[in-house]
Structure 1
Amino acid sequence: MQFYRFFTDDQVKRIHEASLELLENVGILVHNAQARAIYGQAGCKVDTESGIVKFPAQVVEKARQSFVPTYTFLGQDPAFDKVLPQDGPVVVTGSSAPNIIDPKTGEERRATSIDIANIAYLINELPGFDVFSISTLAEDAPAGQFSLSRFYPALKNCKKPVRSNTPNIKDLEQVLELGALIAGSEEAYLERPFINHHYCPMVSPLTMDINSTDAVIYLVEKGLPVYGTVVPNAGLTSPMSLTGTVTLGNAEFLALSTLIQSIRPGAPMIYAVLSTVADMRTGNYAPGAIETGILQMAHTEMANYYHVPSGGYIGLTNSHVNDAQSGYETGMNTTAALLAGGSLFNMGGLLGSLMAFDFGKAVTDSEIAMNLKQIQRGMEFSEENLCLDLIAKVGPGGSYMSEKHTVKNMRKTAVLPKIANRDMRGRWESEGRTDYQTRAMREADRILSKENPARFSAELDRKIRSHFPNLVAGDAKWYL
């Protein structure tokens, strides 16, 4: 597949060189002492007083030599495993919103562990999604179980790869204990680690935090799957220049990559971003703006230069309802990223600049995802697919509707959406003049009203609940 490009080869190389200049001359403010030590051992210049780490170009280039071209998401069920980029587009839910649009009242409220269980079940059943990145927080989490109250209902109700993060090492260790219980032993889990971890240790501009960096180091040392996202915001935390923002974000990616490869050469990574441009009329965050898609396209060019998988939070919306704005922001930005060669899309289910999950939006995004996957498939060129014999047989003025070829190929040639309406107006009116959100919520209701086939066995659930007293119930419980 040919990819769309903004830059020539020389321009891509110049952005890389400019990123190296930033790392060598300006450096990264690294708050994490362990990371500073790792950088120092790798040959970086560490100022222990200021915390600034400067990167000689040869240190970054050495790290680049151990980049690998693939990244694998494992699920509890191996049938759902996905390898980037060849299985792309790999479609992931948006994650960690504090709120949810209540499916009964339509009002925004704090999300709970029951919501996570319902979302996990829905994502397990929606064909467009490949990975469940835990969509919300859990307001009802017992003390000391903040992360368990998210990962447990997610893993209990979804066999696809599950991904999220933790606020500290204690929570991370609890989540890994949960993984070992599900796998049957710590050894079995380490052999097939089906919990996928993601953090944002880089804080633009050019800063590395403490807790997320701790988690990345911990997981890389153990050989467990983890990757990071860089999030420059033009006008606020990066220059009000698309190319300048790409350059700064690329420097941050290289800094994080150097840390990871210095710990474990050959550790799989994703060049993941959420680069945005602030709406400077208000200073508001604008992840749904078309510039998010343009920036993702440019970062993808850099990822292709480094031969690593690419993607990130793309296809988000600023809209507070699942409406035309939500649809065009998600559709345009994800299509742009796909055509540039992106293979990971955190696009599903969130409204209001990542603040709230909506069930109808998730169903909508699954349908958008199916269309993206169809674009990726493209056309298969072959003599057989030219259909010359069939065209000659039907001849001028004939019909292909009754041909066996049509029946054989109708389901694989075209996407047949379940929610989008293709009926004539009269039929649409006779069936209640429903809008897309109404039909999407009906589909969510249809799925979530059934028994969940992905749920843990009773025996496994008893074992987990015995190990973690006071754990949330973690059961999908639909409201409608």
Structure 2
Amino acid sequence: MVSSRFIQMQDKHELEEIHEAAVKVLETVGVEFQSESALNVFKARGAAVEGSRVRINRNLIETSIESAPSAFMLHGRNGDQSVTIGEGQAHTLVEPCNGCIYAQSLDRGRRIGGIDDLVNFIKLSQASDVCSINGGIPVVPSDVDGKTAYLRILFETLKNTDKPLRSNPGSRQEVETMFRMVEIAEGQPGFLEDHAAIYVSINPLSPLVFREVELETLMTYAEHRQPVAVLSCAMAGVSAPMSLRGTCVLQNAEILAGLVLTQLVNPGTPFIYAPASAVPDMKSGQYVTGSPESNLINIANVQLARDLYRLPTRTMAGLTDAKVVDVQAGLETMQNLSLCMMSGVSIINECLGVLDSIMTNSYEKFILDQEMISRVLTIMKGFEGVNGDLATEAIEQTGPGGNFLYHPDTLMHCRDNWQPLVSSWDHYEKWEEKGKMDAAVRASSIYKAMLSEAPDSMLDPAVEQELVAFARRVAPDVDLGCSIKSS
């Protein structure tokens, strides 16, 4: 990605001001780490620890920034799907939604999500041309036992995608189990020792608190040198200052605190800087995602990580507070996608299907979001390839009053132009002849076709059986399912 095309929210001096303010917060206020293991790591490196409060000095911060790689490769089970994240990556990478409670479609309306929905969204993400990273929990499966849900979710993920993976927090034992499952699917014991193949995103509890489960996850991933993203989602005026730059400072302090611990556990562990704070509706204190001011905060922090720290970045981008696929959904989603992607962020998430402030995952919006992302990626390419040709020869050959329609250059490249996935470019009569369908209806038919074409499993049968046997040794009563119904 060419950095000169990125949105610049702050100049270098302003970025340094945010950095210095965050360093001051970490040195004087400190951060609560609710884990004895994490506190011991800090004590061993000379940080000031009082109870669960850790004050992190400038030297630890700067050493950790220097230690974390500016880029790394996240490997897919299919090597052709592996991606570079950070400096040198070709374009913004995309991953699906995470943590939605409801699933929604035109046919069935809004309902509590189940394992069938989770599998369907993983299949759609596998089939998507714009989605580079798969996994997570696109819909929380309400019909799966919570104690063994992590096993079922990862089993279904490994079964239905060969793209690089993201996962979610868990206890040390759960994380170690998931790592073993990834290696079984890869067919290579010890694969994770020298391959980054699954990354995790953890959240501080703003302001300035890290809870035990998130810390266990972070440290276990770091010990295995698997990438860690620290996602700060502070709310200006609620869990962060009302000032937008003040929220930049707070979330920078939280993310840097996570970075320091990651690098203290295992220097060189890949780290993803993930700002995702928001300006809520202060009339109610409710979390909202459609405010343009939220982008001001997160773009400034992305720029800070990109320009000062040289770290890979991620932010939530396809967000909307709309409850259905309507004009509001289009307005807010395109606002957030275009601003976040054009900030030069490495990865965007919450951007394929998300509705209702991350409460709902919509099948139709998943398809529409693909087109919106494709539009922005095309703009970000600029005058690439043949589009950068000045075409003086074609102009000379055609001359005044001529027509380029049948010029050899036109005939050679006329199929290279971007085409929509869902939008209709037909004239009115043609559109009417096809049934006068709106974009959501067309999207409905597209996602159904994608699901009907998806394979039942992408695993070798012997590998799948090995995964089932392993999961049942870990939890004998785990339900790994027999078949998945379509939506």
TM tier, shorter chain? over 0.9
Residue 276 of structure 1 aligns to a residue whose secondary structure is coil
1:64–1:143: structure 2 CA closer, same or farther, 3 Å change rule? closer
User: Match of 1:335?
Assistant: 338
Deviates more, 1:126-135 or 1:401-410: 401-410
Query: Do structure 1's residue 368 and structure 2's residue 372 form an aligned pair?
Result: yes
User: Match of 1:287?
Assistant: 289
User: Match of 1:68?
Assistant: 69
Q: TM-score, normalised to structure 2's length?
A: 0.92
Contact 1:296/1:314 (<8 A) preserved: no
State the shift of 1:359 in Å. Answer: 1.0
User: Match of 1:206?
Assistant: 208
1:320 to 315, 323, 326: 323
Query: Do structure 1's residue 97 and structure 2's residue 100 form an aligned pair?
Result: yes
1:61-460 equivalences under 5 Å are: 61-85=62-86, 86-102=89-105, 104-106=107-109, 108-134=110-136, 135-142=138-145, 144-200=147-203, 202-304=204-306, 305-346=308-349, 347-380=351-384, 385-412=389-416, 414-452=417-455, 455-460=458-463
- Counterpart-to-counterpart distance in 1, 2:61 and 2:268: 14
1:155-201 CA-partner distances (Å, limit 9, x unpaired) = 2111212212033223223322221221224323444453332221x
State the shift of 1:255 in Å. Answer: 0.9
State the shift of 1:474 in Å. Answer: 6.8
- Counterpart-to-counterpart distance in 2, 1:27 and 1:203: 14
| Counterpart residue identity of residue 71, structure 2 | T
- Counterpart-to-counterpart distance in 2, 1:453 and 1:385: 45
| Counterpart residue identity of residue 167, structure 2 | S
- Counterpart-to-counterpart distance in 1, 2:434 and 2:282: 45
Residue 67 of structure 2 aligns to a residue whose secondary structure is coil
- Counterpart-to-counterpart distance in 1, 2:191 and 2:20: 43
Contact 1:311/1:343 (<8 A) preserved: yes
State the shift of 1:293 in Å. Answer: 1.9
Deviates more, 1:164-173 or 1:376-385: 376-385
- Counterpart-to-counterpart distance in 2, 1:280 and 1:122: 36
Q: TM-score, normalised to structure 1's length?
A: 0.94
CA-based RMSD of the aligned residues comes to 2.0
State the shift of 1:119 in Å. Answer: 1.2
Contact 2:126/2:162 (<8 A) preserved: yes
Contact 1:293/1:334 (<8 A) preserved: no
Contact 2:187/2:463 (<8 A) preserved: no
- Counterpart-to-counterpart distance in 2, 1:381 and 1:348: 28
| Counterpart residue identity of residue 57, structure 2 | P
State the shift of 1:311 in Å. Answer: 2.3
- Counterpart-to-counterpart distance in 2, 1:284 and 1:224: 34
Contact 1:293/1:314 (<8 A) preserved: no
- Counterpart-to-counterpart distance in 2, 1:384 and 1:415: 15
| Counterpart residue identity of residue 290, structure 1 | P
Contact 1:317/1:330 (<8 A) preserved: yes
State the shift of 1:475 in Å. Answer: 4.8
- Counterpart-to-counterpart distance in 2, 1:365 and 1:54: 42
- Counterpart-to-counterpart distance in 2, 1:120 and 1:297: 28
1:340-374 CA-partner distances (Å, limit 9, x unpaired) = 22121111221111111111111111111211221
Deviates more, 1:387-396 or 1:377-386: 377-386
Deviates more, 1:354-363 or 1:402-411: 402-411
Deviates more, 1:381-390 or 1:303-312: 381-390
- Counterpart-to-counterpart distance in 1, 2:437 and 2:387: 44
- Counterpart-to-counterpart distance in 2, 1:383 and 1:92: 28
| Counterpart residue identity of residue 314, structure 1 | A
Residue 274 of structure 2 aligns to a residue whose secondary structure is strand
Contact 1:100/1:109 (<8 A) preserved: yes
Structure 1 unpaired stretches of 5+: none
1:246-271 CA-partner distances (Å, limit 9, x unpaired) = 01111111111111111122211111
State the shift of 1:116 in Å. Answer: 1.7
1:23 to 23, 26, 29: 26
1:392–1:63: structure 2 CA closer, same or farther, 3 Å change rule? same
1:437-462 CA-partner distances (Å, limit 9, x unpaired) = 11111100111122428622322222
- Counterpart-to-counterpart distance in 2, 1:117 and 1:89: 25
Residue 357 of structure 1 aligns to a residue whose secondary structure is strand
1:170–1:434: structure 2 CA closer, same or farther, 3 Å change rule? same
Query: Do structure 1's residue 33 and structure 2's residue 42 form an aligned pair?
Result: no
State the shift of 1:382 in Å. Answer: 8.7
- Counterpart-to-counterpart distance in 1, 2:471 and 2:386: 57
Query: Do structure 1's residue 46 and structure 2's residue 54 form an aligned pair?
Result: no
- Counterpart-to-counterpart distance in 2, 1:170 and 1:264: 19
| Counterpart residue identity of residue 408, structure 1 | M
- Counterpart-to-counterpart distance in 2, 1:383 and 1:209: 51
Contact 1:76/1:160 (<8 A) preserved: yes
Contact 1:74/1:196 (<8 A) preserved: no
State the shift of 1:143 in Å. Answer: 5.8
1:90-121 CA-partner distances (Å, limit 9, x unpaired) = 01112121221156312x22222222221111
| Counterpart residue identity of residue 412, structure 2 | K
State the shift of 1:472 in Å. Answer: 2.2
Give aligned pairs, total.
Answer: 474
1:320–1:73: structure 2 CA closer, same or farther, 3 Å change rule? farther
State the shift of 1:392 in Å. Answer: 1.1
1:139–1:453: structure 2 CA closer, same or farther, 3 Å change rule? closer
Contact 1:296/1:311 (<8 A) preserved: no
Contact 2:105/2:364 (<8 A) preserved: no
Residue 453 of structure 2 aligns to a residue whose secondary structure is coil
1:115-149 CA-partner distances (Å, limit 9, x unpaired) = 22211111111111111243112222246311112
User: Match of 2:475?
Assistant: none
